[in-house]
Amino acid sequence: MGMDRGENMRRIRSKDTAPELTVRRLAYSLGYRYRLYRKDIPGKPDLVFPGRKKVIFVHGCFWHQHPGCNEGRLPKSNKDYWQPKLERNVARDSAAQEQLASLGWDVLVLWECEIRDIERVRRVLIDFLGAQKRGA
């Protein structure tokens, strides 16, 4: 007997998701140090690099509606419930990213589906975060 959609949705975490843990482990293994979920920064980014003034969001493709991704599709049932909910997420993401940019923060969004390619994510992290600081 399978679980219903509501039960399934209740099991989904907003913090410490598997894709997020993958990105955190990779960033740490590359020598980058970060803070998590700083509530004083717009959008509560998943990883914050205060000294570099950079943040990373690890977005689930469904919850944040990844454009062009199969996982980012709206459910066929109960559209009146899901569409406004997911549209609010996208609007909130966009507003937070604009606010961060206006405060001088660089923002990187990594999508859940992209994290499967670890080598690509490694290159993106190094490119985004730049050279290591000595003693950091």
Domain at 70, CATH number: 3.40.960.10
Is residue 14 over pLDDT 70?
A: no
Backbone φ and ψ of 49, nearest 5°: -115, 85
Question: pLDDT grade, residue 7 (50/70/90)?
Answer: low
pLDDT tens per residue, range 88-120: 999 999 999 999 999 999 999 999 999 999 999
Of 4-13, 27-36, 37-46, 82-91, give the lowest mean pLDDT range. Answer: 4-13
Q: Between helices 118-129 and 18-29, what is the axis angle to 10°?
A: 60
DSSP state of 54: E
Instruction: Look over the chain and give the mean of its residue pLDDT values, rounded to a whole number.
Output: 87
Does 13 map to a domain?
A: no
Does 42 map to a domain?
A: yes
Does 82 map to a domain?
A: yes
CA 5 to chain centre: 23
Q: How many domains does the chain have?
A: 1
DSSP state of 82: H
Does 29 map to a domain?
A: yes
Report the DSSP pairing between strands 47-49 and 54-59: antiparallel
Amino acid making up residue 48: V
Does 87 map to a domain?
A: yes
pLDDT tens per residue, range 48-80: 999 999 999 999 999 999 999 988 888 888 889
Give residue 39's domain range: 18-48+63-129
What local confidence, expressed as pLDDT, does residue 101 receive?
96
What is the pTM for the complete model shown? 0.84
Contact in structure between 86 and 73 (CB atoms under 8 Å): no
Does 110 map to a domain?
A: yes
Question: pLDDT grade, residue 134 (50/70/90)?
Answer: very low
Is residue 12 over pLDDT 80?
A: no
Does 74 map to a domain?
A: yes
Does 78 map to a domain?
A: yes
